[in-house]
């Protein structure tokens, strides 16, 4: 089992990347994740002791303005290049926001174009909900749209253990449908069904143990990437790492 972490709890204060890399090492992680927002105007070349596993990005390919979709692709290509320079193996791609009038064909076409361009990194599509930098929830937050995009493109999947529950659906049946495409997992938690309310990993409603047990039985050998968003300080990171390791051991 290879364990990484995306430090969502640190996004607001945005400490130096060296501090996050140091904490990741202290936690005994095998690698660490970054948001593209953390890499802006930073030099990624100092990473050497631990690998950067995944860089999360936020392209908006469902925007109703065609010109904006072109700009989103240009920006996403730059993000992929920056992630590759940081040594990341994976780049998290999103469909975009649920703008009024969005069309799934725009997203499918954009994904295929991005996949053709991605030679130095592997793109992973997430069953996403809504980041703080967006006005609307993710266009692919509804389960049927997520599955349609996943199946039509055949893109690799970063499966999030909480976001499907936030939408109101059970995560495990969705995971079972895309299992062959899953190469990374966001271990996330939420206090209750139907709302994104991050809590310390393992204390909320997300069926993390069930998802990990399913993946382990299938021989999953990809990265488990904790999405630590509880804003409970160092204890939240420590608790998350301990929980995931124990849940995987027992799975």
Q: Which of 18-22, 39-43, 155-159, 180-184 has the lowest mean pLDDT?
A: 39-43
> By percentage, how much of the chain surpasses pLDDT 90?
88
How many of the other CB atoms lie within 10 Å of CB of 51? 17
Question: How far, CA to CA in Å, does 136 sit from each of 129, 130, 161, 184?
Answer: 9, 7, 21, 25
- The distance from CA 210 to its chain's CA centroid, rounded to whole angstroms, is 19
Our measurement of the distance from residue 163's CA atom to the centroid of its chain's CA atoms, rounded to an integer in Å, reads 10
Residue pLDDT, tens place only, 43-95:
655 566 799 999 999 999 999 999 999 999 999 999 999 999 889 999 999 99
E strand or H helix at 245 = helix 234-250
pLDDT bin (cut points 50, 70, 90) of residue 106 is: very high
Instruction: Evaluate whether 155 touches 123 at the Cβ level (below 8 Å).
Output: yes
Choosing among 3.50.50.60, 2.40.50.140, 3.20.20.150, 1.10.10.10, the CATH entry for 2-250 is 3.20.20.150
Size of the chain in residues: 251
The proportion of the chain whose per-residue pLDDT surpasses 70, expressed as a percent, equals 96
User: What integer pLDDT is reported at residue 29 of this predicted model?
Assistant: 98
190-192 and 195-198 strand pairing: antiparallel
Higher pLDDT pick, 227 / 132: 227
Give yes or no for residue 97 having a pLDDT over 80: yes
Residue 210: closest CA among 194, 195, 189: 189
Q: What is the largest CA-CA distance in the chain?
A: 50
- Between 124 and 86, the more confident residue is 124
Kindly report, residue by residue over 229-247, the tens digit of the pLDDT.
Answer: 999 999 999 999 999 999 9
Residue pLDDT, tens place only, 171-191: 999 999 999 999 999 999 999
Start-to-end C-alpha separation, the chain: 12
Mean pLDDT of the chain: 95
- At residue 157, the pLDDT reads 98
Residue with tokens 């998290």: 92
At 29, list the tokens.
């992680």
Contact 156, 122 (CB under 8 A): yes
Burial class (CB in 10 A: 0-12, 13-18, 19+), 77: middle
Q: Which pLDDT value is given to residue 44? A: 56
Give me 52's structure tokens: 């950067």
The pLDDT value given to residue 37: 87
**pLDDT attached to residue 236:** 98
Per-residue confidence band for 36, with pLDDT thresholds at 50, 70 and 90:
very high
């Amino acid at each position: 089992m290879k364990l990484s972490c995306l430090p969502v709890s640190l996004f607001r204060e945005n400490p130096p990347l060296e501090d996050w890399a140091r904490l990741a090492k202290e936690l005994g992680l095998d690698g660490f994740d970054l948001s593209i927002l953390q890499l802006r105007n930073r030099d990624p070349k100092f990473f050497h002791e631990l690998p950067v596993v995944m860089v999360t990005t936020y392209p908006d390919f469902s925007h109703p303005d065609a010109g904006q979709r072109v700009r989103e692709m240009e920006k996403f290509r730059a993000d992929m290049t920056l992630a590759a320079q940081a040594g990341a193996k994976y780049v998290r791609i999103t469909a975009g926001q649920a703008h009024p009038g969005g069309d799934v064909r725009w997203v499918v076409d954009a994904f295929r174009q991005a996949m053709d361009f991605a030679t130095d990194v592997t793109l992973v599509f997430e069953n996403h909900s809504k980041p703080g930098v967006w006005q609307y929830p993710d266009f692919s937050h509804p389960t049927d749209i997520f599955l349609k995009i996943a199946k039509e493109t055949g893109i690799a999947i970063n499966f999030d253990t909480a976001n499907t529950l936030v939408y109101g659906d059970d995560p495990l049946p969705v995971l079972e449908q895309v299992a062959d495409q899953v190469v990374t997992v966001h271990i996330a938690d939420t206090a209750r069904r139907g709302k994104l309310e991050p809590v310390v990993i393992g204390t909320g409603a997300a069926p993390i143990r069930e998802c990990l047990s399913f993946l382990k039985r299938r021989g999953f050998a990809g990265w488990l990437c904790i999405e630590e968003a509880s804003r409970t300080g160092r204890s939240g990171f420590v608790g998350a790492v301990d929980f995931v390791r124990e849940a995987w051991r027992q799975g």
